[in-house]
Structure 1
Amino acid sequence: MLILSFDTSTRGCSVALHSDAGLLAGYDLYTDKSSSSMLTTLIKNCLENAGYQLADFDAIAVAKGPGSYTGLRVGVSTAKGLCYALEKPLIAINTLEAMALQVGSFFKGHLLCPMIDARRMEVYCALFDDQNNFIRETAAVILNDESFQDLLKDFKVVFFGDGAAKCGPLLKEHPNAFFPSIDINPSARTIGQLAIAAFEQGNFEDVVAFEPYYLKDFMSPARKKTSALV
């Protein structure tokens, strides 16, 4: 089994190649606007360095969101185009679920709360146990002084991702709130891990109908101006 995975959910761009034996190659680039300009380059580099061609892969996996509207459109459009051209199945993975998989083994007995910045005081987040099982489903949450207080009374919770910076000033003094000292970004490396399991279970998407998981309705600048005048 060979799976090509990529993630463009946030400002970064990440590509990975997996077999059922594990990770074969991976590239992670975290610069502003890297998803649209560098995705195809990273795919090409990954394939060449690992010694494979696109036709060799059994499936294409992509981070479906939530995340940046533009980034998600770039990633999903590229994945759908490759699947359609190569007649390969499409696998879509929740970005937050893949983020949680990065840290679960380091925080046994904790709940995991990956967060993606959604502007102002809003974040996209979900809650997982240390085995990567959903405890609370993905949601857009506006942070305030009461956020997560119900959980922190009884559980130790790890907050991470680029949205966690907004949560820090509100919760960092709570003894059950933990904020890792290193940046934890979405990565195709864990998208691919989850995609292996999805492939084995036959969890594929309809290539034609599939859309990114925006979580909130996309509103273009033109629509925003129109809405403000209503």
Structure 2
Amino acid sequence: MQADNSLLLGLDTAGSSCSVAVMDKGQVLASRIETMRRGQSERLLPIVQEILDEAGKELLDMAGFAVTTGPGGFTGVRIGLATAQGFALACDKQLVGINNFKVLARGVPIVEKVKDIQIVVIIDAKRADLFVQSFDSKLNSLTEPFAALPENLSDLLPEGNLLLVGDGIDQAYEYLKKAGRKIAISTSSANADAQNLLFCAVEHQLFDKKNKSVEPLYLRAPDVSLPKDKPTF
């Protein structure tokens, strides 16, 4: 199908927010992003309905769905994927997934994407490390997604001026500064916006490609605590 001529719904719950957007013919009809550390499972479906009402559309009107695949909180990633997969199955429509690094990089304003700048997306991993990926000004990947401690980050990034985006900037900034890196901070949102998710999907013509299963992007295993004084197998 031609995605830019279709109604599309995108959603993100992987990070510290909940975001939903509806697009028609490449134009955003309605969108919302709400910051929240937890509670996405309770808030997501009401936001979806509110956005559909605002756009004057029904879920069955959608020609396709897009979802962020992480990295982020294990529960948040699963909530978004499960909901989007349920929508796609119920409507018998295609589902595509895009990682949060690409969505956040897409949200950087054009005026900030100057030549020779390195866009570094830094996501708060809610632990000692950070989730990171670097892009050039044209959003080509300079590194693969990786997890790193803030004090090791500079050594893992290519040389050059850095433009930081994401909700993990505060944890990395001083270490990068001490390493002598030239740093700027993007004015874009620190959280993934479903509008940019949909723009990514359309610009990369993901809906026009052969269906692939949408898998979560985990850069480390989920944290699991085993019960005490019980045998493990």
- Which residue is equivalent to 1:114? 121
CA contact (8 A) 1:18 1:192 kept: yes
CA contact (8 A) 2:96 2:207 kept: no
Secondary structure class of the residue paired with 1:103 = coil
- Which residue is equivalent to 2:226? 222
Secondary structure class of the residue paired with 1:39 = helix
CA contact (8 A) 2:118 2:136 kept: yes
The aligned amino acid for 1:189 is: Q
Offset of residue 164 of structure 1: 1.3
Does residue 48 (structure 1) correspond to residue 70 (structure 2)? The answer is no
Cα distance in 2 between the residues matched to 1:93 and 1:133? 14
Does residue 39 (structure 1) correspond to residue 53 (structure 2)? The answer is no
Secondary structure class of the residue paired with 1:120 = coil
Does residue 194 (structure 1) correspond to residue 197 (structure 2)? The answer is no
Change (3 A) 1:214 1:165: same
Offset of residue 141 of structure 1: 1.4
Offset of residue 187 of structure 1: 1.1
- Which residue is equivalent to 1:12? 17
Offset of residue 24 of structure 1: 1.5
- Which residue is equivalent to 1:142? 149
CA contact (8 A) 2:14 2:68 kept: yes
Does residue 85 (structure 1) correspond to residue 90 (structure 2)? The answer is yes
Q: 2:135 pairs with 128, 135, 140, which one? A: 128
Cα distance in 2 between the residues matched to 1:150 and 1:94? 20
Change (3 A) 1:128 1:56: same
- Which residue is equivalent to 2:3? none
- Which residue is equivalent to 1:176? 182
Structure 1, gaps ≥5 residues long? none
Offset of residue 121 of structure 1: 2.9
Does residue 185 (structure 1) correspond to residue 191 (structure 2)? The answer is yes
CA contact (8 A) 1:60 1:79 kept: yes
CA contact (8 A) 1:8 1:71 kept: yes
Offset of residue 92 of structure 1: 0.2
The aligned amino acid for 1:52 is: K
Offset of residue 149 of structure 1: 4.3
Cα distance in 2 between the residues matched to 1:138 and 1:104? 22
Offset of residue 150 of structure 1: 6.8
The aligned amino acid for 1:114 is: V
Secondary structure class of the residue paired with 1:221 = coil
Q: TM-score with structure 1 length normalisation?
A: 0.87
* % identity of equivalent residues: 27
Q: TM-score with structure 2 length normalisation?
A: 0.86
| CA root-mean-square deviation | 2.3
CA contact (8 A) 1:6 1:62 kept: yes
The aligned amino acid for 2:212 is: E
Structure 2, gaps ≥5 residues long? 1-5
Does residue 63 (structure 1) correspond to residue 68 (structure 2)? The answer is yes
Change (3 A) 1:101 1:89: same
